[in-house]
């Protein structure tokens, strides 16, 4: 079995997620959810329903160098603002809090053991702290696991599929669903394949290790683009600029994405061949 990630595939996924992020409705049906997505770029807070429909949302830049308590205070403050907006529309208060977080979240102990994007966070009780703040049931998963569960609820895969879900933002991480169960490991370290060290000496500085995150994550894609064509990209370029270049058939962007996809595919191929038969690969996104 050969794994190939093509530009057309990235194009389809990019458009899918750009559209999905903009989906709104004034009156979702059913119970209501306050969703919180925490990653290195921003904290996104949404008010929506179990159908996946979003009524209102707001975001703020992630304070990456702040303590967990400081970020929690920021989340609480912005969530209060969002709920004031929804209450003004006579929408009910949410029934649950659903959280997606980048980092190593242990679903058995409910502890966020660490996060490379929030270096001051160590063994944080994210779930219980949010539960105390809002007095609501709280469900927390790592970003990749949350994405896979969302696809099970709203996407085309079923709970009978064997599925690998891949997230590239902010770091490369996979979620594995097999035999009706979501794979996990102690400490929340499962799926962190971006930490794999590469044997690609031409990608790094002599004496420094190069990892999959340095090439295939959103930030790594930008890093690779600047390494290959330093004069082509603006100093303030973002990963989206690379993807926009791909969509407009920029040859430099196409070359960079093809190289990153090849390296990523080589790493993932071994995992699939060793551990899965009839695997369903879904939702790779930046």
Asked whether residue 48 is domain-assigned, the answer is yes
Phi-psi region of 90 (alpha: psi -120 to 50; beta: other; left: phi over 0): left
CATH of residue 142's domain is 3.30.420.40
The first and second tokens of residue 178, run together, are 């097999």
Total domains in the chain come to 1
List pLDDT tens digits, range 33-74: 999 999 988 999 999 987 778 899 999 999 999 999 999 999
Measured CA to CA, the distance from residue 50 to residue 142 in angstroms comes to 19
Within a domain: 211 = no
Report pLDDT digits (tens) over 217-256: 988 999 999 989 999 988 888 888 988 888 999 999 999 9
Widest Cα–Cα separation across the chain: 61
Give me the half-sphere count of Cα atoms (radius 13 Å) on the Cβ side of residue 203. 22
Whether 184 is in a domain gets the answer no
Residue 115 lies in a domain: yes
Write the DSSP string, 36-69. EEE-SSEEEEEEE-TTS-EEEEEEEE--TTS-HH
Mean pLDDT of the chain: 81
End-to-end CA gap in the chain: 24
Look up the domain containing 145 and give its range: 24-152
Give domain status of residue 84, yes or no: yes
Q: Are 219 and 226 in contact (CB under 8 A)?
A: no
Tell me how far apart the alpha carbons of residues 151 and 166 are, in angstroms, rounded to a whole number. 12
Peptide bond into 230 cis (omega under 30): no
Q: Is 100 contained in some domain?
A: yes
Q: Is the pLDDT of residue 279 over 60?
A: no
What's residue 277's pLDDT? Answer: 46
* 68 Rama sector, left if φ>0, alpha if ψ -120 to 50, beta otherwise: alpha
* Rounded CA separation 120/271 (Å): 32
pTM score, two decimals? 0.76
Q: Are 212 and 263 in contact (CB under 8 A)?
A: yes
Q: Is residue 91 part of a domain?
A: yes
CA 113 remoteness from chain centre: 17
């Amino acid at each position: 079995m050969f794994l190939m990630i093509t530009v057309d595939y990235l194009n389809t996924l990019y458009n899918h997620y750009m559209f999905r992020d903009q989906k709104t409705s004034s009156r979702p049906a059913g119970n209501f959810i306050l969703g919180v997505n925490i990653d290195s770029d921003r904290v996104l807070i949404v008010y929506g329903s179990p159908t996946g429909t979003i009524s209102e949302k707001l975001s703020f830049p992630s304070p990456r160098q702040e303590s967990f308590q400081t970020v929690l205070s920021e989340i609480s403050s912005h969530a209060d603002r969002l709920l004031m907006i929804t209450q003004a529309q006579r929408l009910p208060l949410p029934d649950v809090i659903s959280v997606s977080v980048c980092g190593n979240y242990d679903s058995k102990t409910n502890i966020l053991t660490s996060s490379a994007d929030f270096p001051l966070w160590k063994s944080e009780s994210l779930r219980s702290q949010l539960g105390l703040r809002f007095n609501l049931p709280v469900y927390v998963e790592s970003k990749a696991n949350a994405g896979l569960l969302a696809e099970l609820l709203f996407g085309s895969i079923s709970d009978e599929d064997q599925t690998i879900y891949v997230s590239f933002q902010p770091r490369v991480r996979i979620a594995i669903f097999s035999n009706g169960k979501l794979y996990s490991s102690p400490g929340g370290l499962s799926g962190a394949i971006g930490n794999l060290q590469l044997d690609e000496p031409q990608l790094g500085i002599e004496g420094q290790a190069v990892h999959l995150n340095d090439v295939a994550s959103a930030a790594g894609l930008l890093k690779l683009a600047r390494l290959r064509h330093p004069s082509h990209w603006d100093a303030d370029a973002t990963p989206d600029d690379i993807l926009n270049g791909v969509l407009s058939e920029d040859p430099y962007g196409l070359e960079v994405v093809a190289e990153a996809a090849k390296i990523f595919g080589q790493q993932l191929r071994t995992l699939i061949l060793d551990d899965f038969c009839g695997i369903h690969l879904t939702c790779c996104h930046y």
